[in-house]
Amino acid sequence: MLSNFKDYLSGLLLDAVNQLGTINADVNIEIARTKQAEHGDYSCNLAMQLAKAMRKNPREIATLLVEAMPSSPYVQKIEIAGAGFINFFIKNSAKQACLSVVLQQGMAYGVSDFGENKNIQVEFVSANPTGPLHVGHGRGAAFGASLANVLSMAGFSVEREYYVNDAGRQMDILAVSTWLRYLALNNIQVPFPENAYQGEYVKVMARLIHEAHVDRYVHQPEQLFDGLTDPLAKSINTDEELDQLIANAKLILGQDYAYIHNFVLTEQLGDCRNDLMEFGVTFDTWFSEQSLFDNGLVAHAMQLLEEKQCLYRQDGAVWFRSTDFGDEKDRVVQRENGQYTYFASDIAYHLNKFERDFETVINIWGADHHGYIPRVKAALQALELNPEKLKIALVQFAVLYRDGKKASMSTRSGEFVTLRELREEVGNDAARFFYVMRKSDQHLDFDLDLAKSRSNENPVYYVQYAHARICSVLKQWDDDVAKLMNADVSLLTHVSELTIMQRLIDFPDTIVVAAQEFSPHLIAFYLRELASEFHSYYNSTHFLVSDIPLMEARLMLIAAVQFVLKNGLKLLGVSAPEKM
RNA sequence: GUGCCCGUAGCUCAAUUGGAUAGAGCACCAGCCUUCUAAGCUGGGGGUUACAGGUUCGAUCCCUGUCGGGCACGCCA
């Protein structure tokens, strides 16, 4: 059978255009699926596009095109309708032929070579390892993982990467927060800063250190409050005070600071990795920000910018001339105190990404980072790298609703809902599916009660249920799908059957579009529609009938549906249960 | 204040990127289990696509303006 009707039909039309000759217009032949059955299976608006250039009525052009088109064994008829649409009706036999293809290819059905095996990197989640992942990260995780799967199936060679922010101030705050909690366990009471990490997990880490090393890391904290404006203050709550506290802690702890720092990093990163793994989200590379400093890549990137005269000094800091490349203001890369900014390491990181020979680099960011895009692209331009190779997919916030009201979240206060809690509450399947049900640039209202409900309100179960039903029917028959390979598919002529077959044919194309548009939500919608058409078919038609050829044909159809459902769910990281 | 995103059925969202009569789910109403899983199916009502202009064969989509909502505007990450 044909692997791609759209390409095939546009080929026919291209022949027709060439036949007619002397059309000096940009021909962009686009074949679209129709929405209504009266319009056939596929339609093309080429005649309308050509109307102006050819100075003719679109319907007239359409007629010429159709007449010039070579005849096809797959096309039942061609109609000209409306303003000049060319509508194609595909023969039943051509649709029926898809079933053996699906069964033959099995879980490989839907794989295409659209991506031409090009290297593509998807960097996602990349949350600071300073605490548990929350529901906001969950959306990035689900979206990124699904997108990576979709890209892979569409023929790209995909690398999944997590950028670990293990070098910054936030890590220091976490280390000190943990140490202060640890001191408290050793009965040394010091005020706990308001802007330190308040979460319970910090106390848990302190307890682990305490259990393993008892008072090994207790250092008398007399100098802890040196340099603070009010040493007797019961509370510390400005950034300056916290930074001073960190500096003091580093001094007091000496060599031991590295242990604390490393311990909390390892602990949090491990927790994060496990959390994601349980969520079905895995990475090929965990890229350390610290390694950029250790390997001199940050200094190297700065040197390159310096050579290209894109840096200057002002007020003791080093600035990058991002305004030269379209940014609204110049940005500091090295602070007055000699510390590089996060932006500096990010420039080095992106330089490194580009040196790793990817055709395309995709960053998945929270939508609150949109203002950050121009400066990163500016840096790429300054380094004479093609900013077009970097694609940024922004993911809007997920707002959690429980009992109709918002669940708040704030990392510092420790009041957020963690991804782990969410997964425990609604299950991995529902969480993965709900996260990608919406277009990524759309705010997501995550209704916990709906995700939990085991009823018709829940789209996850709807799709899974279709799969389980098919498994059940096949089990009651023989369960050997291989025996169906030669079923007489010409017996499947009912509208509901042809509709399902057309849907199956759409699957590979849906994946390509989802890959092109970075829109895994299309897969979720596709699955709901396929499931819906199946449920409807199930209720109207009995499969295990005494007419053996008819039974086998119908079973072949639902077996094909089973494969595609399973395959689509797998793309989204959702399980396909055999019974429910 | 400036920039980016968004505004579609009572609610949550689609709409093949400019196509034909704007579609689903939930909620609501009325039906369907002695037969392969009722976590299902069938039917019904529900819309000036925020508003006003513009561009063209054709606009939810592109342009301008207004109103409303979100986010970002650090020598934070």
CA distances to A33, A157, A192, A225, A380 from A177, rounded to whole Å, are: 58, 41, 8, 15, 36
Average pLDDT over residues A507-513: 94
A546 touches strand B (CB under 7 A): no
Please report, rounded to whole angstroms, the spatial distance between the CA atom of protein residue A528 and the C1' atom of nucleotide B14: 12
Q: Are A67 and A116 in contact (CB under 8 A)?
A: no
**pLDDT recorded at residue A49:** 86
The ipTM, to two decimals, is: 0.95
Q: Any residues with CB less than 8 A from the CB of A228 and at least 6 apart, and which? A: A236, A241, A244, A245
A58 touches strand B (CB under 7 A): yes
Instruction: Give the residues across from A320 on adjacent strands.
Output: A311, A331
382-411 of chain A touching strand B, CB 7 A cut-off: 397
pLDDT at residue A228 above 70? no
Render pLDDT for A352-410 as a digit per residue (tens, 0 to 9). Answer: 999 998 999 999 998 889 999 999 999 999 999 999 999 999 998 777 777 666 765 54
Please report, rounded to whole angstroms, the spatial distance between the CA atom of protein residue A442 and the C1' atom of nucleotide B61: 16
In whole angstroms, what is the distance from residue A261 CA to residue A251 CA?
Answer: 14
| Identity of the residue numbered A432 | R
First-to-final CA distance of chain A: 35
In whole angstroms, what is the distance from residue A246 CA to residue A209 CA?
Answer: 19
A349 touches strand B (CB under 7 A): no
Q: Any residues with CB less than 8 A from the CB of A309 and at least 6 apart, and which? A: none
Average pLDDT over residues A468-478: 95
**pLDDT recorded at residue A412:** 46
In whole angstroms, what is the distance from residue A532 CA to residue A536 CA?
Answer: 6
Q: Are A133 and A274 in contact (CB under 8 A)?
A: no
499-518 of chain A touching strand B, CB 7 A cut-off: 513, 517
Q: Are A180 and A190 in contact (CB under 8 A)?
A: yes
Q: Which residue is nearest to nucleotide B26 (CA to C1')?
A: A457
A95 touches strand B (CB under 7 A): no
In whole angstroms, what is the distance from residue A89 CA to residue A402 CA?
Answer: 48
Render pLDDT for A408-442 as a digit per residue (tens, 0 to 9). Answer: 554 444 456 789 988 988 889 999 998 998 888 77
**Among A15-24, A35-44, A170-179, A535-544, the least confident range:** A15-24
A316 touches strand B (CB under 7 A): yes
In whole angstroms, what is the distance from residue A227 CA to residue A247 CA?
Answer: 10
**Among A85-89, A174-178, A476-480, the least confident range:** A476-480
Nucleotide closest to A340 measured between CA and C1' = B75
Mean pLDDT of chain A: 90
Question: Per this entry, what is the length of chain A?
Answer: 580
Which of A439, A461, A440 has its CA nearest to residue A451? A461
Please report, rounded to whole angstroms, the spatial distance between the CA atom of protein residue A456 and the C1' atom of nucleotide B31: 18
Average pLDDT over residues A301-309: 96
A532 touches strand B (CB under 7 A): yes
| Identity of the residue numbered A396 | Q
Joined together, the tokens standing for residue A67 give 């007449």
**Among A30-39, A156-165, A287-296, A314-323, the least confident range:** A30-39
Q: What are phi and psi of A42, to 5 degrees?
A: -135, 150
In whole angstroms, what is the distance from residue A136 CA to residue A399 CA?
Answer: 8
Phi-psi region of A40 (alpha: psi -120 to 50; beta: other; left: phi over 0): left
A36 touches strand B (CB under 7 A): yes
Average pLDDT over residues A279-283: 97
Q: Rounded to an integer, what is the distance from CA A52 to the centroid of its chain?
A: 41
A28 touches strand B (CB under 7 A): no
A149 touches strand B (CB under 7 A): no
Helices A548-571 and A459-477 meet at what angle, rounded to 10? 140
Q: Which residue is nearest to nucleotide B37 (CA to C1')?
A: A469
